Amino acid sequence: MASKDRILRQKEETRNNILGAAYDIVKEEGWNGLSMRKIADKIEYTAPIIYEYFSNKEAILEELTGKGFVKLTKELQSAIDKFEKPEDQLEAMWMTYWDFAFTNTEMYQLMFGVQMTCCAQRCSAQEGPYKLFTQVIAEVMKDSNPSQDIIKQKYFTFFSVIHGLIAINIINKSDILETINAQILKDAIGGIIKSIQ
């Protein structure tokens, strides 16, 4: 019975339709706008049938995450293939990584847990730490008479390393060895301070 095959193919297709619809909604309305009923609407079914393809909403998210990692991996591989020297490869890889994050921002958010909650308040409240840091950085750099932009840049360099490291630790829940954390922290802070003196 070849109809079995066709039915299986159809099942696979609606499965993909669910994932596609989900991601479409997310691109339009963000992760908070995603709901089972909206997915159902988009694929012209009612909500419960989704549960015949995915055990729950999180399973959909997990599968999308998986697809995201596969896509990222492929792009990284093709970045490798473009160069011969490993140094060039590495640089191309991180540039590819950077591009991936901004051409698939929603996907990146899901994969690495980047969320935006409220911004208006934050932008002003954030000024406290920002001011303190930039003041001290300016003091460290006072011999080279840096511009405000340079100070800002140095601040963000610090911030990137340390926030990045914190984020990995929170997401991976201390999967990383404590010694590695300490080493990176010490290296990064010491290194940047030295570079700006």
Q: Which residues bind DNA (CB under 7 A)?
A: 1, 3, 7, 11, 14, 34-38, 44-49, 51-52, 55-58
Q: Of 19, 29, 87, nearest to 54 (Cα)?
A: 19
Smallest separation, CB 160 to DNA (Å): 33
Sequence-separated (6 or more) residues with CB below 8 Å from residue 102: 108
Residue 47 contact partner, candidates a second copy, DNA, none, CB within 5 to 8 A by sort of partner:
DNA
Residue 102 contact partner, candidates DNA, a second copy, none, CB within 5 to 8 A by sort of partner:
a second copy
Task: Give the footprint of a second copy on residues 107-126 (CB under 8 A).
Answer: 108-123, 125-126
Q: Which is nearer to DNA, 118 or 177 (CB)?
A: 118
Q: Which is nearer to DNA, 40 or 150 (CB)?
A: 40
Q: Which is nearer to a second copy, 10 or 55 (CB)?
A: 55
Binding flag, residue 152, a second copy (CB under 8 A): yes
- Applying CB under 8 A, the span of 8-16, 18-26, 38-46, 82-90 interacting with a second copy comes to 82-90
Question: In angstroms, rounded to a whole number, what is the distance separating the alpha carbons of residues 51 and 57?
Answer: 9
The token duo for 119 is 């911004």
The correct pick among 8, 15, 167, 178 for binding a second copy (CB under 8 A) is 167
**In whole angstroms, what separates CA 1 from the centre of its chain?**
45
Residue pair 96/52 in contact (Cβ under 8 Å)? The answer is no
The token duo for 148 is 């405000």
Smallest separation, CB 88 to a second copy (Å): 9
Question: In angstroms, rounded to a whole number, what is the distance separating the alpha carbons of residues 155 and 157?
Answer: 5
Question: In angstroms, rounded to a whole number, what is the distance separating the alpha carbons of residues 12 and 1?
Answer: 18
Binding flag, residue 78, a second copy (CB under 8 A): no
* CA angle at 18 for the pair 15 and 22, rounded to the nearest 5°: 150
Binding flag, residue 65, a second copy (CB under 8 A): yes
Question: Taking CB under 8 A as the rule, which mask of x and - marks residues 17-56 in contact with a second copy?
Answer: ----------------------------------------
**In whole angstroms, what separates CA 109 from the centre of its chain?**
4
Check residue 147 and report its DSSP letter.
-
